[in-house]
A = this chain, B = another copy of it.
Amino acid sequence: MSLLPRWANRSTLRRHGMADGIAGVVVGFLVIPQSLGYALLAGLPPVYGLYAAILPTILYAWVGASNTQAVGPVAVTSVMTAQALYLVLPAHSSLATYAASAAALAGLVGLMLCAASVMRLGWLTQWLSRGVMAGFMTGAAGLIILNQAHHVLGAPLQHDQLLHLLTHLWQHPPQVHLATLMLGLLSIAVLWAVRRYATRGLIHLGVPTAVAGLVSKLTPLLWVVAMTVLSASVQFHALGVHVVGALPAGLPPLQWPSGLSVDQLLQLLPSAGLIALIAFISSASVAQTVARQRQEPFDANQELAGLGLANLGSALSQGFPVTGGFSRTAVNLEAGAQTPLAGVVCAAVMLIVLWQGTGWFYHLPLAVLAAGIVVAVFGLIDLQTFVLAWRVDRADAWAYLGTLTGVVLLGLQQGLIFGLLVCFAMLLRRSRRPHVAVLGQVGQTAHFRSVTRHNVHTWPSLLIVRIDDSLYFANIDSVTQYINHALQQQPHTQHVILVFSAVNYIDLAAQGMLESLNQQLLARHVRLHWTDIKGPVMDHLQQTACFTQLSGAVYLSTFAAVEALKPPAPLPEYHL
């Protein structure tokens, strides 16, 4: 494998170089204010957003799975970062400690994603049901909006739960700074209206769809520029409006975060795991959708590696956790990006700005940045999924409610875990009653069918039970109950034949169940037999007590078992 990425060859560059260059420049300028805002959301000074955007973008372009995915800080992982550090660090930690912890968190996220890639855990994209994801995102959006309120209102809010934030706001009503408030609300109104109506309006005016989309995506940038220019000329900061202020110029030193004890790293581990999960799932879902539209292949394990490296890069350049962003990827696409070269160009633009242009942002009001974030996360609020789920998939509706309630009451991390556990419980609940059927023989054939649905032949001494699901801890209780019930119905049973034709695995608990069923039957002088076991299942069972102590035999087919075990036919009368 060449160390050069697959798109770094002359023909690709000649074909797409121009388009990618333009897209890269557009995205570069667009994500700069976003990145500054997300750094604030993560509890860091604005410039750290740029640190977290440059190296990760380059590294993702090198190995990531998607051609057009744009990687950097996004709203959800930023607020998760703030919460993780809020839980672990003592109050009033120094900026150096806080920044080092954020970078260490990114490093842990990166290591976990790389490890998951090596372990080929790409299938984890399917881990969150729609209800859990929608509930989590809705709760996160609420938290982010309340969190951003302080840039509009003035009072700093550092809490990990919606409820905390609300109580705090209630008990300590913030000092409102009128100019800031008006600027913030105006920005929200303008940005929201643009987001909502600009594309449609432009298309209505005859602008081509792609151009309309791009222009409406770029309008926030224009607003940022306009407000910055206005702020500089009117001297907003003299009026008491908080502005970004002086950003340190130049790249941060490339070095791994240091100064954290093993203990602190351990405490960050669970948060890192959850951030890695959310980062991967949200990035993969965007990348997968885009790949399908463009009919490109998508490899989830490669995506894991790409995101892992990006986060390690973020850690190395003093950043914080990053992932693929929906809005920046959309802009990238609409600006015409074809290959990851666009990402490299975008990183180059940010690098130049960091070198030479940090002064441009001095007068940018924080309220404008906050308004951008608030409007961006409006899109994360997803109540329709709940309404839909309540009508058609109640279990997913409960998972949604569980996650959202958890996020509101306990915070993002605990809420997500709670939602996952609710989802797990619902799944077990659904699968705890597998289909089990008592069988009989169809005529004189080798076919056996359910006694309740077909006209079949049965024997009082034989109980043939087919289990239509794999046996595992969640369903063994109801299988045991079913067999005991069937035995009561058929008191002269001498042989129980379990048909395993639909059983794909038998877990440890189910093996124990088979073992105790065998002993329990033996005590009643009933023998237990197995038939139709699949090869891989048999391989596992051969070493276990439930197999070696089996009172009966193992048959290749139900027919063979019945032929061996059915009572001999009575002699026909004319023989007498």
Closest chain-B Cβ to A157's Cβ sits at a distance in Å of: 15
- Whether A14 is near chain B, meaning CB under 8 Å from some CB there, is no
Query: Complex Cα distance A540/B392, Å?
Result: 5
| Residue ID in chain B nearest A468 by CB atoms | B502
Query: Complex Cα distance A167/B264, Å?
Result: 13
Cβ-defined contact, B421 with A269, below 8 A: no
Closest chain-B Cβ to A575's Cβ sits at a distance in Å of: 37
- A 364-389 contacts with B by CB, 8 A: 385, 388-389
| Residue ID in chain B nearest A421 by CB atoms | B420
Query: Complex Cα distance A468/B504, Å?
Result: 12
- Whether A474 is near chain B, meaning CB under 8 Å from some CB there, is yes
Q: Which of B385, B414, B502 contacts A270 (CB 8 A)?
A: B414
* Chain B CB within 10 A, most for which of A266, A388, A472, A476: A472
- A 214-266 contacts with B by CB, 8 A: 263, 266
- Whether A458 is near chain B, meaning CB under 8 Å from some CB there, is no
Cβ-defined contact, A124 with B425, below 8 A: yes
- A 452-492 contacts with B by CB, 8 A: 468, 470, 472-477
Closest chain-B Cβ to A213's Cβ sits at a distance in Å of: 21
Contact segment of A143-151, A426-434, A559-567: A426-434
- CB-defined contacts of A541 to chain B, threshold 8 Å: 392
Closest chain-B Cβ to A426's Cβ sits at a distance in Å of: 9
Cβ-defined contact, B421 with A126, below 8 A: no
- Whether A172 is near chain B, meaning CB under 8 Å from some CB there, is no
- CB-defined contacts of A131 to chain B, threshold 8 Å: 508
Cβ-defined contact, A129 with B473, below 8 A: yes
Cβ-defined contact, A269 with B473, below 8 A: no
Cβ-defined contact, A266 with B409, below 8 A: yes
- Whether A355 is near chain B, meaning CB under 8 Å from some CB there, is no
- Whether A505 is near chain B, meaning CB under 8 Å from some CB there, is yes
- A 155-188 contacts with B by CB, 8 A: 161, 163-164, 167
Q: Which of B428, B435, B505, B543 contacts A430 (CB 8 A)?
A: B505
Cβ-defined contact, A263 with B164, below 8 A: yes
Cβ-defined contact, A392 with B544, below 8 A: yes
- CB-defined contacts of A506 to chain B, threshold 8 Å: 393
Cβ-defined contact, B410 with A474, below 8 A: no
What is the total number of residues of chain A having a CB less than 8 Å from a CB of chain B?
62
- CB-defined contacts of A521 to chain B, threshold 8 Å: none
Given A507-B395, A507-B396: A473 in contact with B126 (beta carbons within 8 A): yes
- Whether A92 is near chain B, meaning CB under 8 Å from some CB there, is no
Cβ-defined contact, A126 with B420, below 8 A: no
| Residue ID in chain B nearest A477 by CB atoms | B126
- CB-defined contacts of A269 to chain B, threshold 8 Å: 409-410
User: Would you give the 0/1 interface string for A106-137, flagging 1 where the beta carbon is closer than 8 Å to chain B?
Assistant: 00000000000000000111111111000000
| Residue ID in chain B nearest A475 by CB atoms | B126
Query: Complex Cα distance A258/B126, Å?
Result: 45
Closest chain-B Cβ to A112's Cβ sits at a distance in Å of: 13
Query: Complex Cα distance A429/B512, Å?
Result: 22
Cβ-defined contact, B127 with A425, below 8 A: yes
- A 398-455 contacts with B by CB, 8 A: 409-410, 414, 417-418, 420-421, 423-425, 427-430, 432, 435
Query: Complex Cα distance A185/B470, Å?
Result: 48
| Residue ID in chain B nearest A400 by CB atoms | B508
- CB-defined contacts of A474 to chain B, threshold 8 Å: 126-127
Cβ-defined contact, B263 with A428, below 8 A: no
Q: Which of B263, B385, B409, B417 contacts A421 (CB 8 A)?
A: B417
- CB-defined contacts of A473 to chain B, threshold 8 Å: 126, 128-130
Cβ-defined contact, B123 with A508, below 8 A: no
Interchain residue pairs with CB less than 8 A apart (9): A123-B477, A126-B473, A127-B425, A129-B508, A130-B512, A389-B508, A391-B543, A392-B541, A392-B544
- List A residues at the B interface (Cβ < 8 Å): 123-131, 161, 163-164, 167, 263, 266, 269-270, 385, 388-389, 391-393, 395-396, 409-410, 414, 417-418, 420-421, 423-425, 427-430, 432, 435, 468, 470, 472-477, 502, 504-509, 511-512, 540-541, 543-544
Shortest beta-carbon contacts, A-B, top 5: A424-B424, A393-B508, A129-B473, A396-B508, A130-B509
A129-B507, A130-B508, A392-B511 given; 8 more Cβ-contact pairs under 8 Å? A128-B473, A266-B410, A388-B508, A393-B505, A393-B507, A396-B509, A420-B424, A424-B427
